[in-house]
Amino acid sequence: MNNELLPFDDSMVLGRRGLFRLGGLTAATALIAAACGTTEAGPVGRIGVGAGVPKLADAVVNDGVLLRTMAGIETSIANAYTHILEKGYLTGSSPTLPALGDLSALVKSFHDHHINSAERFNTLAVDAGETAWECGNSRLDSAYLAVIFDRVENGVAATDATKAIEPSDDPTRDMANLVFTLESMSASSSQALVQQLHVPPARAEAMQLGIRSGRHASVIALRIHPGGYVPGALSAAATAETTTTAGQDGAAPPPTPIPLPDAVPGQFGLLSPTIFIGGAGDENGVRLKLNFETPSLNSLSYPFDVCPEG
Amino acid sequence: MDIEVTESGLDAAPSTPRHPLGRRALLGVGLGGAAMSLLPFLSGRASATTPVEESTTTGVTTPPQRPTDPDVELLAVVQQVELTALALYNEALALSGWTDEHAVVITFIRQAHLAYGQSLSGLLGRRAPGVRSEQLFDELRGDFAGSVESVLAAAYALEASLAVTHGEVLAELQGTDAAALIASIQMNEARFGTVLADMAGMTDEADLLVEADAESLAGKV
Predicted local distance difference test score (pLDDT) of residue A45: 72
In tens, the pLDDT along B77-111 reads: 999 999 999 999 999 999 999 999 999 999 999 99
Q: Say if A266 is an interface residue toward chain B (CB within 8 Å).
A: yes
Distance from the first to the final alpha carbon of chain A:
83
Share of chain B above pLDDT 70, in %: 73
In tens, the pLDDT along B101-154 reads: 999 999 999 999 999 999 999 999 999 999 999 999 999 999 998 899 999 999
Q: Write the DSSP symbol of residue A165.
A: B
Predicted local distance difference test score (pLDDT) of residue A2: 58
In chain A, where are the structural domains located? 63-231+253-292
In tens, the pLDDT along A128-175 reads: 999 999 999 999 999 999 999 999 999 999 999 999 999 999 999 999
Q: Between chains, do B183 and A194 touch, taking CB under 8 Å as contact?
A: yes
Q: Say if A32 is an interface residue toward chain B (CB within 8 Å).
A: no
Measured between CA atoms, the residue of chain A closest to residue B36 is A30
Q: Say if A61 is an interface residue toward chain B (CB within 8 Å).
A: no
Helix ranges (DSSP H) in B5-96? 9-12, 23-43, 69-93
Q: Between chains, do B32 and A207 touch, taking CB under 8 Å as contact?
A: no
A-chain CB neighbours of B194 within 8 Å are 215, 218-219, 222, 263
Predicted local distance difference test score (pLDDT) of residue A53: 84
Tally the residues of chain A.
310
- Residue A291: what are its φ and ψ, rounded to 5°? -100, 120
Q: What is the pTM of this model?
A: 0.79
Could you tell me the CATH superfamily of domain B69-220?
Answer: Ferritin, core subunit, four-helix bundle (1.20.1260.10)
pLDDT tier for residue A57 given thresholds of 50, 70 and 90: confident
Q: What is the mean pLDDT of residues A256-272?
A: 96
Q: How large is the ipTM?
A: 0.80
In tens, the pLDDT along B25-80 reads: 666 666 666 666 555 444 444 333 333 333 344 556 789 999 999 999 999 999 99
Q: What is the mean pLDDT of residues A93-98?
A: 92
* B174 CA: distance to closest CA in chain A (Å): 6
Predicted local distance difference test score (pLDDT) of residue B173: 97
For residue A34, pLDDT over 80 is answered with no
Q: Say if A154 is an interface residue toward chain B (CB within 8 Å).
A: no
Q: Which residue has the higher pLDDT, A6 or B193?
A: B193
Q: What is the C-alpha separation between B141 and B215, in angstroms, rounded?
A: 17
Q: Between chains, do A215 and B101 touch, taking CB under 8 Å as contact?
A: no
Q: Between chains, do A17 and B185 touch, taking CB under 8 Å as contact?
A: no
Q: Which of A304, A309, A307 is nearest to A64 (CA)?
A: A304
For residue A15, pLDDT over 90 is answered with no
Three-state DSSP class for residue A291: strand
Residues 270-299 of A with CB under 8 A from B: 271
Predicted local distance difference test score (pLDDT) of residue A35: 75
Cβ pairs bridging A and B (under 8 Å):
218
B-chain CB neighbours of A232 within 8 Å are 104, 108
- Residue A290: what are its φ and ψ, rounded to 5°? -130, 140
Q: What is the mean pLDDT of residues B163-187?
A: 98
In tens, the pLDDT along B27-39 reads: 666 666 666 655 5
Predicted local distance difference test score (pLDDT) of residue A92: 83
For residue B195, pLDDT over 90 is answered with yes
Q: Between chains, do A37 and B3 touch, taking CB under 8 Å as contact?
A: no
